[in-house]
Amino acid sequence: MNNLKVFLLMAGLTALFASVGGALGGQSGMVMALVLAAGMNVFMYWNSASMVLRSYRAQIIDRAQAPELYDMVDRLRQRAGLPMPTVAVAPHEQPNAFATGRNPEHAVVCVTEGLMRLVDREELEGVIAHELAHIKNRDMLLQTITATFAGAISTLANIAQWGLMFGGGRSNDDERGHPAAALIGIIIGPIAAMLIQFAISRQREYKADAVGAEIAGRPHGLANALRKLDAYSKRIPMQVSPAVAPLAMVNPLAGVRGGLSSLFSTHPATEERVARLMGR
């Protein structure tokens, strides 16, 4: 069901790009925006791991530095059928974790120092299994694709905004949309693309929870860890860029949930994640 929802959301994002592109810039505008966005995101795809680690100030470790953590990752990745990822630790008090990397062969699993101090062994296994599930599901590739489309729509909107401001544009009606449609696209298009992108991220979290519970062999450790991480993330701030916040297991920039704010969250509500894990 989660995969079907992601497919439908991806189809919606593609249709949104086509409709907004046609309204704002015609075929040539669509192609230009897609090429620009794809170029930026290809760079991010290939360099994501090092950039994310720098943003979290994380340090790569070996077995000698943290044998229990390293062996846990090794054991769980074998159970998941994955190559051994790079293991890293970030110097943050907030308990959290993330996975990044362009594919399973170049993946990174990172935990914070606060996580290591807070959770017990079973809970840590659940967290590691969740992050390995993201690697197994190739969520980084999906994130790059959705970011490409969302970025292309924003690029189209910016181009059209400048065109309307300075009265530019082509005279051929096939190559330029109606001004009213362009104005709607400038306002609504990027917001809609962002909401779809966030909805895809939330569905991938549900999927990673389910697969993570399978890798760990039981859902209880992950469910208990989610409760703890959610509670502490709201009490202990983390200084991290909003651009990399969606990668974390729980929102490291957690604020007030509910209302419109839930629409703009890349993470589903923890209560719902726990309920799904426990089959309620």
What ranges do the domains of the chain cover? 2-277
Confidence at residue 261, expressed as pLDDT on a 0 to 100 scale: 46
Chain mean pLDDT for the chain: 80
- Contact call for residues 168 and 201 (beta carbons, < 8 A): no
CA torsion 145-148-149-155 (nearest 10°) is 180
* pLDDT of 90 over the 50 cut: yes
Query: Does 146 score more than 80 pLDDT?
Result: no
pTM: 0.76
Grade residue 118 by pLDDT with cuts at 50, 70 and 90: very high
Q: Which of 26-30, 155-159, 161-165, 217-221 has the highest mean pLDDT?
A: 217-221
Residue 248 DSSP label: B
Q: What pLDDT does residue 260 have?
A: 44
Does the pLDDT at position 16 exceed 90? no
Confidence category of residue 205, pLDDT binned at 50, 70, 90: very high
Instruction: Tell me the one-letter amino acid at 72.
Output: M
Kindly name the residue from 123, 125, 131, 205 that is annotated as catalytic. Answer: 131
Catalytic, 68? Answer no
